Amino acid sequence: MGVKIKRLGDLRLKLVLLGKAVRKRLSQEGKDMKKIARDLSPVRTGKFRKGWRARSSSRRLLLTNAVPYADYVHRKGEPTPLIREQVAAAAEERKPKLVADLQEIATKIMNGD
């Protein structure tokens, strides 16, 4: 009985550590994606460029820009793709690395490394 309780306690601790590590990695990804979004934003749209916000939880990362014209921003002379489409494409490119990082984190924590 005592061994099972200890194992259950270890598992709970590992799950807490895993949650914290995942949130930390997603938070870092949010900061990185916010920088990418700002870099993709046209220079003359200062309010738009500064308007990028990243929120993360243990399940997702959300990148938003609340300026009213955010859906219409694109580089001069380039009607498509819109900035949000470019940001989404950048996120898709980064996704395999993020997934691999999260899998590595989970493996290390669950194996006690």
What is the domain extent for residue 12? Answer: 2-111
* pTM, 2 dp: 0.77
Tally the domains of the chain.
1
How much is the pLDDT for 60?
Answer: 80
Q: Does residue 11 have a pLDDT over 90? A: no
- pLDDT per residue as tens digits for the range 40-51: 887 666 888 888
Q: Does residue 71 have a pLDDT over 80? A: no
Cα dihedral: 75, 81, 84, 88 (round 10):
-130
Helical H runs in the chain? Answer: 2-40, 46-50, 83-111
What residue has token string 């002379």?
77
How much is the pLDDT for 7?
Answer: 67
How much is the pLDDT for 84?
Answer: 79
Mean local confidence (pLDDT), 1-24: 75
Pick the more confident residue, 73 or 4.
73
Mean local confidence (pLDDT), 61-69: 86
Tell me how far apart the terminal alpha carbons of the chain are, to the nearest angstrom: 26
